[in-house]
């Protein structure tokens, strides 16, 4: 029965958005209603999640739904180039309206039009995908597009450098200080970045400088597998952090 | 798009191709208003995005004995084939729980597939109303109030006793939530733009209705007082006060008109067509106008503006960081530098009773005058 009497579980679009929230230097362009973008701000505010990326929306009209959203999006990207000179990576976030009209974000991202920024497209923005699917795709696609093979950085000491992957839960905001101290106590390691909890575009590009990935939630396993396969980075899964009682 | 060519809501262009943060959708304002209406239940129909976010505004915390606020989550199959059967069952279940009236709110996806919910829900009779609040059909959120108030009017006017008006006059303002009592009055004065769409149905029910939300100068205020003498009591203003304002108005108009000042009204709280008439009469040239929504009820104000010889560009000012949403901007024609009055100033003006609103408005305009004459601080004058 689709009558929901409390609050529906969020779907993949919100999972995608949650992935982007903590990534500094990322610009997100939502291809849909500006009302959704504003709600995203409102929810992040209510949950005390810091928004490090920049969210924009194309909005849309009846005409766009009939004639296609290509022109609207292309104009939006043009304006973005003018307004955000520092933008280097733009995530094209889909919505269910775009999915209904069959708008091809991937095609646009790969169209080869020369821009000052890199475009990353995502597909799981509409129906039938869960919040966790959105988190998984968000992390995976960003890493696939941005991670660079880098020279191993000179180590300050013998400690292991790790990337912490995952941890963006829906109903539990992890406290990074607590998480850091627990990881330090348990693994005696330096932390390169928390992705996606608190990271940046440049930190994602330098992900391979670390020795190991620690996966703290299942949605990051696909990304860890990718990094292992492409860059020979080992990973361990440790889901003991951020139990429900540990919410901020 | 110029005012003279504006005929539909869809003609109003967004001020930008790239919206930062943006504006709420009409579902938001309708749900926020429903929080105060104790006996009306709601059912938001849509995909996960809209139903999920709708619970940020209206959820089980606002349930009462006769009201429930639920949502209907459409599956991907239903976005193609419709949700007639499921919706019918959901509505029946809500009535089994003891609700009395149900407002069904259609969001973007059900509006896009165009399913006819009104005929689908006919078996439930007048207890169910359907409103289409899809965001792609408009830029702003004003129709959340508009369509909600129309649905409310249908309910309470049907139930009211015809021809019997117990009381003389009342105000319909931002904090008014007992709509069913409106039919007990002979005269209603609408002071908030939120409820402007109630004017027509109330008039059709034989109630005299006047509005003050669109009055920004002594000329229009005097017109209202002459039409409704008893409103002097409820609005706490007199014709003497109007006369005083008239002389102030003439003084301002004489001095402002020599300066050649143009204005952009980009504020969403004021009735921009009403304010632009007042500014025009003060000798200012309104060249750009933010409009939340165009509706046929605005045709009279639109035609009044055109008769004055104005034809400003109409836009929907959406951008909050790079744009100037909320501001009213002044500058001398031919100069680059704008002088901005912030949203807060205009929001607080809108919330004042008519007499204080006009006093403060004229003070603000004296501030504008001083700025362009001797370089004074516009906003300091507005706050005094």
Q: Is it the case that residue B239 has pLDDT exceeding 90?
A: no
- Is the torsion defined by CA of B2, B3, B4, B7 positive or negative? positive
Say yes or no to pLDDT of B384 above 50. no
Q: What is the pLDDT of residue A152?
A: 62
* A14 contacts in chain B (CB < 8 Å): 48-49, 52
- CA B139 – CA A151 distance, rounded (Å): 50
Classified as helix, coil or strand, B296 is: helix
Would you call B89 and A1 a contact, using CB atoms and an 8 Å cutoff? yes
Q: Using CA atoms in the order B344, B347, B351, B353, what is the torsion angle rounded to 10 degrees?
A: 90
Q: Between B130 and A61, where is the model more confident? A: B130
CA A170 to chain centre: 14
B180 preceded by a cis bond (ω within 30 of 0):
no
pLDDT value of position B315: 94
Query: How far A35 CA sits from the closest chain B CA (Å)?
Result: 4
Q: According to the model, what pLDDT value does residue B161 have?
A: 56
**pLDDT for B279 beyond 90:** yes
pLDDT at A245: 39
pLDDT above 90: residue B99 = yes
**Tens-digit pLDDT string for chain A (248 aa):** 689 998 898 889 999 999 999 999 999 998 888 999 999 999 999 888 889 999 999 888 888 887 777 888 888 888 888 888 888 899 998 888 877 777 778 887 777 677 788 899 998 877 788 999 999 999 999 999 999 987 665 555 667 889 999 888 877 777 888 888 888 888 888 899 999 999 999 999 999 999 999 999 999 999 999 999 999 999 999 888 765 434 33
Q: Which of A33, A64, A84, A170 to mutate to probe the B interface, most B CBs <10 Å? A: A33
The token duo for A20 is 């982007």
Q: Which tens digit of pLDDT belongs to each residue from B287-306?
A: 999 998 888 888 989 999 99
pLDDT number for residue B102? 95
Tell me the mean pLDDT in the region B115-141: 89
Determine, for residues B73 and A4 on separate chains, whether the beta-carbon distance falls below 8 Å: yes
A8 closest CB neighbour out of B16, B18, B51 = B51
Retrieve residue A150's tokens: 């880098």
State whether residue A177 sits within 8 Å of chain B by CB: no
pLDDT tens profile B352-368: 888 888 889 999 999 99
Reduced 3-state DSSP string for B101-139:
EEEEEECHHHHHHCCCHHHHCHHHHHHEEEEECCHHHCC
3-state secondary structure chain A: CCEECCCCCCEHHHHHHHHHHCEECEEEEECCCHHHHHHHHHHHHHCCCCCCCEEEECCCCHHHHHHCCHHHHHHHHHHHHHHCCCCCEEEEECCHHHHHHCCCHHHHHCCCCCCCCEEEECCCCCCCCEHHHHHHHHHHHHHHHHCCCCCCCCCCCCCEEEEEECCCCCCCCCCHHHHHHHHHHHHCEEEEEEECCEEEHHHHHCHHHCCEEEECCHHHHHHHHHHHHHHCCEEEECCCCCCHHHCC
**CB-CB contact of B234 with B189 (8 Å):** yes
Cα B24 to Cα A35: distance, rounded to the nearest angstrom: 4
Distance, in Å, from the CA atom of B146 to the CA atom of B150, rounded to the nearest integer, reads 6
Which residues 113-132 on chain A approach chain B with CB closer than 8 angstroms? 126-128
Contacts of B12 in chain A (CB under 8 A): none
User: How far apart are the C-alpha atoms of B191 and A48, rounded to whole Å?
Assistant: 37
Bridge partners (DSSP) of residue B330 are B263, B339
Residue B311 clears pLDDT 60, i.e. is over it: yes
Q: Do B21 and A7 touch (CB under 8 A)?
A: no
B115 interfaces chain A, CB cutoff of 8 Å? no
Q: Is B48 helix (H, G, I), strand (E, B) or coil?
A: helix
User: Phi/psi zone of residue B110: left (φ > 0), alpha (ψ -120 to 50 degrees), beta?
Assistant: alpha
Tell whether B384 lies on the interface with A, counting CB pairs under 8 A: no
Exposure b/e, A222-241, CB count within 10 A at least 16 = b: bbbebbeeeeebebebeeeb
Rounded to the nearest integer, the mean pLDDT of chain B is 87
Give me the residues of B, 42-71, that contact A with CB < 8 A.
43, 47-49, 51-53, 55-56, 59-60, 68, 70-71
For residues A221 and A146, what is the distance between their CA atoms, to the nearest angstrom?
Answer: 17
- As a whole number of angstroms, the distance between CA A200 and CA A40 comes to 20
Task: Inspect the interface and report whether the beta carbons of B83 and A13 lie closer than 8 Å.
Answer: no
- Interface membership of A16 toward B (CB under 8 Å): no
The shortest C-alpha distance from B20 to chain A (Å) reads 5
CB-based contact (8 Å) between B90 and chain A? yes
Residue A4 and residue B71: Cβ atoms within 8 Å?
yes
The C-alpha angle B158, B159, B164, rounded to 5 degrees, equals 100
Query: Among residues of chain B, what percentage have pLDDT more than 70?
Result: 94
Farthest CA pair distance, chain B = 70
CA–CA gap between residue A231 and residue B360 (Å, rounded): 67
Within 8 A of A31 by CB-CB distance, chain B residues are none
């Amino acid at each position: 029965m689709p009558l929901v009497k409390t609050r529906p579980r969020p779907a993949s679009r919100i999972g995608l958005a949650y992935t982007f929230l903590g990534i500094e230097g990322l610009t997100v362009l939502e291809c849909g209603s500006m009302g959704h973008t504003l709600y995203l701000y409102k929810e992040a505010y209510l949950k005390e999640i810091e928004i490090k990326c920049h969210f924009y929306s194309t909005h849309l009209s009846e005409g766009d739904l009939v004639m296609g959203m290509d022109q609207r999006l292309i104009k939006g990207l043009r304006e973005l180039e003018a307004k955000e000179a520092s933008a280097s990576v733009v995530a094209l976030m889909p919505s269910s309206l775009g999915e209904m009209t069959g708008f091809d974000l991937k095609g646009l991202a790969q169209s080869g039009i020369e821009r000052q920024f890199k475009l990353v497209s995502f597909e799981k923005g509409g129906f039938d995908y869960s919040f966790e699917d959105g988190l998984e795709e968000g992390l995976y696609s960003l890493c696939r597009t941005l991670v660079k093979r880098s020279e191993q950085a000179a180590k300050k000491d013998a400690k292991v450098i790790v990337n912490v992957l995952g941890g963006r839960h829906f109903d539990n905001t992890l406290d990074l200080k607590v998480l850091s101290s627990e990881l330090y106590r348990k693994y005696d390691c330096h932390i390169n970045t928390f992705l996606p909890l608190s990271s940046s575009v440049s930190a994602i590009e330098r992900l391979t400088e670390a020795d190991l990935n620690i996966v703290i939630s299942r949605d990051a396993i696909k990304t860890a597998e990718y990094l292992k396969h492409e860059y020979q980075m080992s990973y361990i899964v440790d889901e003991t952090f951020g139990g429900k009682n540990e919410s901020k | 798009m110029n005012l003279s060519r504006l005929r539909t809501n869809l003609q109003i262009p967004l001020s930008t191709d790239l919206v930062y943060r943006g504006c709420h959708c009409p579902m938001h304002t309708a749900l926020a208003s429903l929080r105060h209406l104790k006996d009306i239940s709601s059912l938001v129909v849509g995909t996960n995005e809209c139903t999920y976010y709708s619970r940020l505004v209206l959820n089980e915390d606002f349930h009462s004995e006769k009201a429930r606020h639920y949502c209907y989550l459409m599956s991907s199959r239903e976005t193609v084939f419709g949700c007639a059967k499921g919706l019918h069952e959901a509505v029946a279940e809500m009535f089994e729980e003891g609700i009395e009236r149900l407002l069904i709110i259609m969001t973007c996806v059900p509006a896009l597939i165009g399913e006819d919910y009104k005929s689908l829900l006919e078996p439930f009779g007048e207890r169910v109303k359907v409103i289409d609040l899809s965001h792609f059909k408009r830029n702003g959120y004003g129709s959340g109030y508009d369509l909600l108030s129309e649905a409310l009017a249908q309910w309470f006017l049907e139930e009211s006793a015809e021809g019997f008006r117990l009381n003389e006059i009342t105000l319909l303002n931002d904090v008014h939530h007992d709509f069913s009592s409106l039919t007990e009055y002979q005269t209603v004065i609408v002071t908030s733009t939120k409820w402007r769409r109630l004017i027509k149905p109330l008039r059709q029910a034989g109630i005299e209705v006047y509005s003050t939300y669109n009055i920004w100068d002594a000329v229009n205020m005097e017109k209202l007082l002459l039409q409704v003498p008893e409103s002097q009591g409820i609005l706490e203003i007199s014709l003497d006060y109007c006369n005083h304002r008239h002389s102030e108005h003439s003084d301002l108009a004489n001095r402002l008109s020599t300066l050649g000042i143009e204005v952009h009204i980009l504020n969403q709280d004021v009735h921009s067509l009403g304010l632009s008439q007042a500014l025009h009469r003060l000798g200012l040239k309104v060249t750009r106008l933010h409009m939340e929504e165009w509706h046929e009820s605005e045709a009279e104000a639109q035609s009044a503006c055109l008769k004055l010889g104005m034809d400003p560009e109409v836009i929907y000012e959406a951008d909050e960081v790079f744009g100037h949403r909320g501001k009213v901007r002044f500058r001398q024609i031919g100069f680059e530098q704008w002088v901005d009055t912030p949203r807060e100033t205009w929001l607080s003006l809108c919330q004042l009773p008519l007499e204080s609103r006009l006093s403060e408005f004229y003070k603000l305009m004296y501030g504008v005058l001083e700025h362009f004459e001797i370089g004074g601080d516009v906003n300091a004058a507005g706050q005094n």
